[in-house]
A and B are shown apart, each in its own frame.
Chain A
Amino acid sequence: MRLRLPAETGVAAVVMLAYLWLAVSFPTFRESAGLAVLLNNAAEIGVIAAGMTLVIATGGIDVSVGSVAGVSAIAFAKLLTSAGWGLPEALLGCLTVGLLCGFINGTLIARFQLPPIVATLAMFAAARAGAYVLSGGESISDLPAPLISFGYGSFLGIPYPVWPAAAALVVCGVLLRRTAFGRELLALGGNREASYLSGRPVRRIEALVYTLNGLLAAVAAIIIVARGATAIPDAGRFSEMTAITAVVMGGTPVSGGKATVLGTALGVLAIGLITNGVRAYGKGDIWVLLMLGLALLLSVEVDRWRSGERRVAA
């Protein structure tokens, strides 16, 4: 009998290798403070990747999240400064912007049957431009003190931004594994036609998934703004790439129908380790991209080996 390794094998290997490499070369990494910094930096990717796992489980993709985070961040800062809203109202406003963007994506994909990559590509371009229009290309600072302390403080030794990220991952994991919604979602990703013919509310589920993803992008925007103490119109750029990389590295196939949030969490961790490692070596962010590309190929290759697929195209 063949031993069946779990879907997270590839990413677990990458995480272990990266951690060993860093722990050996940089002693500060072995302390909890080093780990806290790492987790803090990976927080917004964790939030986005959690939603992205659900999207990819339906067989779709959402390339707009980084831009949606950008426009939500600017809207948030504008509400706080020029509009003079209080923090709670502005938080709600920010989440609403993300929700709306996600809802537009969901409507285009579920109701009008556009391919997810086209609909979210349009949103990718439009939302980023929206962030520039709203901000006039300027970054916005002078944000309220409680918000900034959220970006720097910690609770139980774990930085504040990590909590919503963990919460998002846990909620998405529970949604996927323990609820009817999750099962419908996986069924939809596995076989859309069959799902539709069995009378499942395919459109509603699909629309909901993208809306949820927009909402999570706004949560990520709040983290980004708090940690940076400013809102820049470029906020969240490339985070869609990073989040997709985390999900795929984690062992969720892009063909849909299967998903693992645990794998995604490990993928986020792997990305955090790689990013911090590259920076610790004093190399530019371009090395991060290079290493991420390699890590992505490595993990899908491990996954291929794990699933025992040796089939070659005819």
Chain B
Amino acid sequence: MLQLANSIRDRSAWLRIRETPAAALLLTVVLYMISTNPAFRTADNLAVLAQDAGILGILACGEALVILTSGIDLSVGSSLAMAACSAGALMMNGVPWLLSAIAGLAVGFGAGLFNGFLVTSRRLPPIIVTLATLLLFRGLTNVLTGAAPYNLLPESFKAIGRGYASVTAFLIVALMLWVFLGRSRLGRHLVAVGGNETAARLSGIPVAGVLRRTYATAGLCAGVAGMIMAAANGNAQWTLADGWELDVIAAVVIGGVRLTGGEGSVLGAGLGALIIVVLRNALFLSGIPVEQYGLVTGTVVAIAALTEQWRRTMERRT
């Protein structure tokens, strides 16, 4: 509270909060949409918005952890599809939905663990590892499922994708990870590794263990998002979330998480995801074809990164 009071008194302190630009941008876009487009504030549209925001938000929270360690995970979309299809296959074979969903989460976790293993004990650069697993997981999912969709999912499972369940899950995940980063030992270690890996190692932080857990958590987040996405679509298919890794990374960047690691927050990544989803929705409501959204998201990513760069030079000067 005191900190907040201080920031109100000292105007430049607002600039020092990393999430300010993202929050301001989100507020502007939402206010603009509310005032200009009546279709935006209909209950149906808000429900769609909440559903998308939940899925992208959960992915972005996991990605933020990886990027905070100065790594990157390009495989989240593929891990999501693999987890969703595993759960879908089990459900179609009569396994109770809760058990199948837990198995799906385990697959996501395992995918993340595999990335973490390659990054730590094989000492491979994260971008190469996750590029390979992006191809590998997607390919495996296609081959193992025979490209068949799992679309006869039980109603009780589909319920977890309906209404505001997805955005609630996102808020819970974000809150948990936020507390985890700020309050737990592993969380502090994670940020320390991203800030300066050598320094972290020399101060006795088990770097490899921290990294493995980070990638595994990102995989688990992809699993959670996968369950929600499959439930929301009523269909688990190998093409699920194809190409989403870029939207996820864009969300994290817009949220002010530094790509070289060590600075940023889950909160920012969540805000970034909301911005992307609201922008997509705004473009959709204006009748612009999906393929053209990139012009807006690309520009927003570049502007967000430039703002972040400018903020840092300002900070250095004061």
**A residues engaging B (CB < 8 A)?**
61, 67, 108, 112-115, 117-119, 121-130, 132-133, 137, 233, 241, 244-245, 248, 253-255, 284, 286-287, 289-294, 296-297, 300-301, 304, 309, 311-314
Contact = CB atoms under 8 A, between A and B. Distances in A.
Given A114-B302, A119-B305, A124-B246, 9 more contacts: A108-B306, A115-B259, A122-B299, A125-B246, A129-B296, A133-B292, A254-B127, A290-B138, A296-B132
Contact of A296 (B131, B289, B295, B298): B131
Interface stretch (B117-125, B150-158, B264-272): B117-125
Given A108-B302, A293-B133, A293-B134, A300 B207 contact: no
A286 B139 contact: yes
Nearest to A133: B292
A125 B309 contact: no
Contacts of B260: 115
B7 interface: no
A82 B211 CA distance: 54
A130 B291 CA distance: 9
A117 B125 CA distance: 14
A78 to B, nearest CB: 16
Nearest to B238: A286
B209 to A, nearest CB: 9
A118 B249 CA distance: 9
A245 B127 CA distance: 11
A293 B118 CA distance: 13
Given A114-B309, A313-B211, A125 B128 contact: no
B301 A121 contact: yes
Interface in B274-302: 289, 291-299, 301-302
Nearest to A64: B298
10 contacts: A114-B305, A114-B306, A119-B302, A129-B291, A241-B131, A286-B138, A290-B138, A290-B139, A297-B132, A313-B121
A125 B120 CA distance: 31
Contacts of A108: 302, 305-306
Contact of A132 (B206, B207, B289): B289
B148 interface: no
B94 to A, nearest CB: 28
Contact of A112 (B120, B136, B140, B309): B309
Contacts of B140: 290
B143 interface: yes
A14 to B, nearest CB: 13
B295 A117 contact: no
A32 to B, nearest CB: 31
B302 A245 contact: no
A132 B260 CA distance: 32
Contacts of B124: 300, 304
Contacts of A118: 253, 259, 301-302, 305
A293 B147 CA distance: 19
Would you list the 9 A-B pairs with minimal beta carbon distance, nearest first? A290-B139, A126-B298, A129-B294, A293-B135, A125-B294, A125-B298, A293-B136, A313-B208, A132-B291
A88 to B, nearest CB: 30
B72 interface: yes
Instruction: Kindly name the residue among B72, B122, B132, B238 whose own CB sees the greatest number of chain A CB atoms within 10 A.
Output: B132
Interface in B226-275: 238, 246, 249-250, 253, 259-260
B301 A313 contact: no
Contacts of A289: 135, 138-139
